[in-house]
Amino acid sequence: MVDCKPCETPCLPYNRLLKDDGTPYNNPTMYKSIVGALQYLTFTRPDIAFSVHQVCQFMQSPMVSHFTAIKRILRYLKGTLSIGISYTRGDLTLKAFSDADWARDPNDRRSTTGMVVFLGNNPISWSSKKQNTISRSSTEAEC
């Protein structure tokens, strides 16, 4: 992938990976190795965190389509080698943002929530988490 053509996004928008999507990938050990390296990279490149976490969900039985998603992440990284987290001077205002996708995962219907905290214009903390349980109704989730 050293000479690959770069792409502008780490994943296709509105394209969700499915657990039984196509044929099984013939080298699961390589799949796991690349995904592990990408997981480590998310510490300094949070822009790929969503895409990497998507491909992490299929470590037990990766499909060819899942490996194609990994290659897209690598192509994105190829085109964005100079991008990373930079810190600048400025005000010390603390801001936090959060969001949830409310059962958007087509494989298990669980929700994912995420948050980011800024000190001025600098991100100082961020996380995302997939819900442990599935709520049967919105009323039950709000209680």
pLDDT above 70: residue 134: no
Question: pLDDT tens digit string along 73-121?
Answer: 999 999 998 887 778 888 899 999 998 887 766 777 778 888 999 999 8
Q: Greater confidence, 57 or 108? A: 57
Cβ atoms of 110 and 131 closer than 8 Å? yes
The CA-to-CA distance between both ends of the chain, in Å, stands at 49
Do 36 and 106 belong to one domain? no
Do 62 and 31 belong to one domain? yes
Do 54 and 123 belong to one domain? no
Q: Please name the helix (run of DSSP H) or strand (run of DSSP E) that holds residue 52, with its range, or none.
A: helix 49-56
Do 78 and 98 belong to one domain? no
Do 98 and 81 belong to one domain? no
Total structural domains within the chain = 2
The dihedral through the CA atoms of 99, 13, 61, 109 has a sign that is: positive
pTM of the predicted protein model: 0.68
Characterize 78-92 residue by residue with b for buried, 16 or more Cβ atoms within 10 angstroms of its Cβ, and e for exposed. Answer: eebeeeeeeeeeeee
Whether 121 is in a domain gets the answer yes
Query: Residue 129 sits in which domain range?
Result: 94-133
Do 98 and 76 belong to one domain? no
- Mean predicted confidence (pLDDT) in 40-58: 88
Do 46 and 109 belong to one domain? no
